[in-house]
Structure 1
């Protein structure tokens, strides 16, 4: 199994999650981890995992990345939204989405937005969107979230080869 983990991170929290997810997948899969600005092709992979921080209740936009930069973030030149909009055809590819989001009821979910995009692109989504909590806009991740991300990743390996779980 070849897995590609593509992430967008502003303050480093989503990157930590992506690294934990890649680590969990690497137990039994060949894993490539890439920051979204590198715009890696998903061609030749069996599983695509995408992750981003939640911005303005969903995926980042150029304006929300500019605002994050004013607050000390280091956004990439593109976000996950643009990556998915310009990816090679993804129809049939096993996929799943995760995000970091504030630990508040009204913070939205980039993972749910990514999940919808993956489905529209024809991906075979193998998990409900995973949301990992940060204590505030800049973090840090809440205790246990990195371990929970790694565990989530290992669960994806079984379902990605045995059908849709969503």
Structure 2
């Protein structure tokens, strides 16, 4: 896990954990299918990446029916596609007045209470948007590195 690819996997998992911290309240996405899709994307990619880390740490990569670099490439491609949909849907359904949400922080009543230990809903939504972009970039880097492992023979 000390390789570049391993560090990317750890970063992806860590960022997903941060996303889960900010979406820990169901009112942020409940009864909104597009946002529930985003939460499913975050969960699926997290589980698959954590499984990959566990396979690597347990030296069980040879138990897969395909070569491990090919598995990593497929996983990275799937994750990039899923995170790309989340990067479009999450901000669209969180910050667009057309979908019944408050696009500006000043209009969010939960932001008016300036409790230093409280993160208001709008700030949570913005944090998830930014973390989604960061994780998408990490998965793109993962895809490039995995493609290099599969297609470039050294």
TM-score class normalised by the smaller sequence = under 0.3
State the TM-score, normalized to the length of structure 1: 0.25
State the TM-score, normalized to the length of structure 2: 0.26
Greater RCO (CA < 8 Å, at least 6 residues apart): 2
